[in-house]
Structure 1
Amino acid sequence: MEGIFMYIRPEQIAEQYEMEVKSISKGRDCFLCETDLGMRALKEYRGSVERAEFLAGMLDFLKEQNIVAEQIFYTKEGEIFARDEEEQNYLLLSVFRGAECDTKSREDMVYAVRLLAGLHNATEQYPDEVPEFVKMNPNALLLLYEKHNRELRQVRNYIRGRKQKNEFEEMFMRQFAGFFEKAQAVTEQLQNMEICEELTGFCHGDYNQHNVVFSREGVAVVNFLNFSYQIRVSDLSNFVRKMMEKNNWNTSLGMELIGAYDSVRKLKPQELSYLYFYLAYPEKFWKIANHYSQSHKAWLSGRNTEKLSKVITQEGAREHFLQTLAGKVENRI
């Protein structure tokens, strides 16, 4: 019975739009609808009406700027949301069929960062006032890293109090001091940084290989639902970090990606400094520790130990990359 309900619900939502639905299937975090107007995606959305309408307007603006990006469609009643019987809101978005950015292809990755720089250039031309509810706290990164540091200490204290430690816990305790020292160093440097208004702007919010699609319509950027208005290099740092983790922190690749972005949108000295701080924080070490903290400790899988071991193994290559990036920062300043 539950399966029938799950099938009926997206149909009822889709009926609220001016389109003829041919079939509906379950996609990644959405319902994929094959329609007479092409493929569409129904996605749950928990934000406000104002936030959704701002995003729809920004996506329309990006289209005018020749950026291939998803679009949001309004219902028959002119509403930004459709609602199911449980009052859950949904957005209807366009879908691009194609291959995601290949994390083993330098050509794909370089194209993706150039595209990101072009997207940031385009949003700088946005003519309307940016509403306050979109803007993030200027000190958001500092506050985030201070929170991460507290969480790392909590995990350390918990494990230290355990009499019998498993393999993961022993490994974590051996590595904690070194990684935490780096985390603290980045946080302390951020405390001395001043954020200029010119560093902030519209950000995708989750720019990664999954959200860059090489389609027939062009190379498209999708999944803007986590968009924000903050320091622009947060997008670049997120993408570069993910690509570097996939490629053993290859220094030449990392510098090529940063250079490719810089060739389209010139990075200011302070932006380079922030990029360094984003990448210097041991994010992956914190992420593994946080997953451990949220999990049932007795059921901890060997996969966590493998991930921690990989982070430790890659740290030398990561440090080499960061030293090279630091040199670029100093030269630009």
Structure 2
Amino acid sequence: MYNRENQILEQYPFEVKQTAKGRGALICDTDKGLKILKEYRGSEGRAEFLYCLLEFLKEHGQEYIDCIVKNKEEKAITVDVDGTAYMVRDWYEGKECDTKNREDILRAVQQLAKLHKIMREFPQEIPEYLKGKNNTLLLENEKHTRELKKVRNYVYSRKKKNDFEQKFLQSYPMFYREAEQVVELQRKELERTDTDSIYGICHGDYNQHNVIFTSKGLIVLNFERASYDVQAGDLGNFMRKIMEKHNWNMGLGVDMLAAYEKVREMSIEELNQLYIRLAYPEKFWKIANHYFNSSKAWVCGRNLEKLEKIMEQNEAREAFLLLMKQKV
């Protein structure tokens, strides 16, 4: 493997001084700064699009970003003799966004708003395979809701129920009702929303691990999952994970929304989309799905702990969602 990596790196216009394993990749100290070599699973066309997008961001104020380094043949990816594709990108050392640090969180939200604002100005035509479909999330949530009912029927049929199963049946009506209400709202929104107003290029995997604080400033990494979709999805995914860690603290939620809108104001349609992403009981579905697909003879105590936690948090969660609903 070492020789393979060396052979790949020899095809790039820099000299490698030292390498180290990290993040499932090879971090390289070169005469042109830190680089990272990582296996790439997408198409060549997607890689070229990503190269152009990152260069566009760099030209529009995002000076430090993990731009793709083209090889000596001016290609965004390099293919090994066995057909495995690799990509080299600029890399930076720093600390990840601290999910316990309010300032880190709000700066990360503002940075996301900046990226969304710039990416809406990207002039190139978006390839069809990068465009999300209007009903993708609706179909996904409809599927998850059916799965919840399936798990409920299975648990209900068991004669001897363990602690987790009893707690699941206790909490099921509340969370299932929430799921149905969100799916119904999604159907209505799909009929009346002007999709052009809510779509733009998304990061696709915006989380604390991809937001790095360095001496050069805040840097966002790993745009591999970038797509043309509902930009509120990026904010919703980030907010949900942070709010879960902070027991759905209303003040923090309000500050996160304000931090985003300080940079880029959201339309009513976008706020509705954000509400949908926060209101669907995603965590409850994940716990139920994990239980159903694991051994029923031995239920992990962690599942019960997670279920009890989201039940305890749900009052605060509903209070924040009610506040959001009043906003839209």
Q: TM class, shorter-chain normalised?
A: over 0.9
Instruction: Give the letter for the 1:295 counterpart.
Output: S
CA distance in 2, matches of 1:93, 1:54: 14
Aligned twin of 2:15: 20
| Partner in structure 1 of residue 166 of structure 2 | 170
Cα drift, residue 166 of structure 1? 2.6
Partner of 1:153: 149
2:67 matched residue in structure 1? 71
The reply on whether 1:29 has 2:24 as its aligned counterpart is yes
Tell me the equivalent position of 2:277. Answer: 278
Shift of 1:147: 1.7
| Counterpart check, 1:117 vs 2:116 | no
Residue of structure 1 in register with 2:53 after alignment: 58
RMSD: 1.7
2:89 is aligned to 93
Q: 1:86 to 1:180 in 2, by over 3 A?
A: farther
- Shift in CA distance, 43/150, structure 1 to aligned 2, threshold 3 Å: farther
**Structure 2 length as normaliser, TM-score?**
0.93
Which letter does structure 2 place at the counterpart of 1:87? Answer: G
For structure 2, the residue ranges without an aligned partner over 5 or more in a row are none
Other-structure match for 2:44: 49
Q: What is the letter of the counterpart of residue 19 of structure 1?
A: F
Change (3 A) 1:23 1:158: farther
Q: Taking structure 1 as reference, are residues 163 and 88 closer, same or farther at Cα in structure 2, changes over 3 Å only?
A: farther
Q: CA separation of 1:32/1:295 partners in 2, compared to 1, >3 Å: closer, same or farther?
A: farther
CA-CA distance at 1:158 after TM superposition: 2.8
- How far apart in 2 are the matches of 1:233 and 1:74? 31
Unaligned regions of 5+ residues in structure 1, if any?
A: none
Q: Which secondary structure state, in structure 2, belongs to the residue aligned with residue 287 of structure 1?
A: helix
Provide closer, same or farther for how the CA distance between residues 276 and 16 of structure 1 changes in structure 2, counting only shifts above 3 A: same
Matching residue of 1:195: 193
1:249-268 equivalence runs, <5 A: 249-268=248-267
Please name the residue that 1:11 is paired with: 6
AA matched with 1:38: G
Q: Is the 8 A contact 1:288 1:307 kept in 2?
A: yes
Summarize the Cα distance change of 1:180–1:200 in structure 2 as closer, same or farther, 3 Å threshold: same
Q: What code does the residue aligned with 1:18 have?
A: P
Aligned residues: 324
Residue-by-residue CA offset, 1:91-145 (whole Å, 9 max, x unaligned): 1111111111111221111111111111111112112222222111012221121
CA change 1:100–1:76 in 2 (3 A) is same
| Greater shift in the superposed pair: 201-210 or 301-310 | 301-310
Tell me the residue number matched to 2:219: 220
- Compared with structure 1, are the counterparts of its residues 41 and 293 closer, same or farther at alpha carbon in structure 2 (3 Å cutoff)? farther
Q: 1:26 to 1:161 in 2, by over 3 A?
A: farther
Counterparts of 1:60 and 1:52 in 2: how far apart (Å)? 12
Residue 39 of structure 1 corresponds to 34
After the TM superposition, which residues 121-140 of structure 1 pair with which residues of structure 2 at under 5 Å, given as runs?
Answer: 121-140=117-136
User: Residue 52 of structure 1 contacts residue 80 of structure 1 at CA under 8 Å; is this kept in 2?
Assistant: yes
Q: Which amino acid aligns with 2:48?
A: E
